[in-house]
């Protein structure tokens, strides 16, 4: 199948998601004032997409879930490390988070999208290939890791947000 063939058989929602990710990644390269729910959107989308594909392709088997969760835990640690020293401030009265420019978001989200798209295409073209352990490990491990990175980064923002809110109330 050619690239044109892949694109022609790609559901429209995938293109919308790609352009949304691209837009978010480009906007993240400038400092901004954001809310916690807005920051939660990417981790939620990637978690839902990852779990949907996990169930659709592999089912809820313990080894499958273990591989994905293992990647998730690794990714959360990486996400926490990425924002460890970031200068994030919170206006507890308005609930606005002042975040610095994030030059990691665009490449990470594009890599996550490419991996999910590639393995999704593989699931359609040769589903048996994804049943090989090495392919299963790569698919589930990478999916979990990328999802975890975004959850870990969100956890940093959420921790700073709730700490600032608690300091005002305390």
**Domains of the chain: total:** 1
Specify if 3 maps to a domain. Answer: no
Specify if 1 maps to a domain. Answer: no
pLDDT of the residue at 98: 96
What is the CB-side half-sphere exposure of residue 12 using CA atoms within 13 A? 0
Residues of the chain with pLDDT under 50: none
Specify if 86 maps to a domain. Answer: yes
Specify if 5 maps to a domain. Answer: no
CA distances from 52 to 55, 118, 144, 161 (A): 5, 15, 12, 30
pLDDT of the residue at 62: 93
Specify if 4 maps to a domain. Answer: no
Q: How far is it, in rounded angstroms, from Cα 112 to Cα 4?
A: 21
pLDDT of the residue at 5: 72
Structural domain including 16 reads 10-169
Specify if 63 maps to a domain. Answer: yes
pLDDT of the residue at 1: 59
pLDDT of the residue at 120: 87
Helix 12-27 to helix 36-53 angle (10° resolution) is: 140
Specify if 151 maps to a domain. Answer: yes
């Amino acid at each position: 199948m050619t690239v044109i063939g892949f694109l022609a058989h790609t559901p429209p929602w995938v293109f919308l998601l790609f352009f949304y990710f691209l837009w978010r990644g480009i906007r993240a390269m400038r400092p901004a004032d954001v809310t916690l729910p807005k920051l939660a959107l990417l981790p939620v989308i990637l978690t839902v997409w990852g779990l949907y594909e996990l169930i659709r392709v592999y089912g809820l088997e313990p080894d499958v879930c273990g591989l994905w969760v293992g990647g998730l835990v690794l990714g959360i640690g990486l996400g926490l490390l990425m924002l460890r020293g970031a200068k994030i401030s919170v206006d507890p009265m308005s609930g606005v988070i002042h975040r610095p420019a994030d030059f990691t978001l665009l490449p990470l989200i594009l890599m996550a999208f490419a991996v999910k798209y590639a393995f999704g295409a593989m699931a359609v073209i040769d589903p048996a290939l994804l049943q090989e352990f090495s392919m299963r490990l790569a698919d589930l491990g990478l999916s979990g890791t990328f999802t975890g990175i975004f959850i870990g980064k969100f956890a940093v923002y959420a921790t700073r947000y709730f700490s600032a809110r608690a300091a005002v109330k305390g």
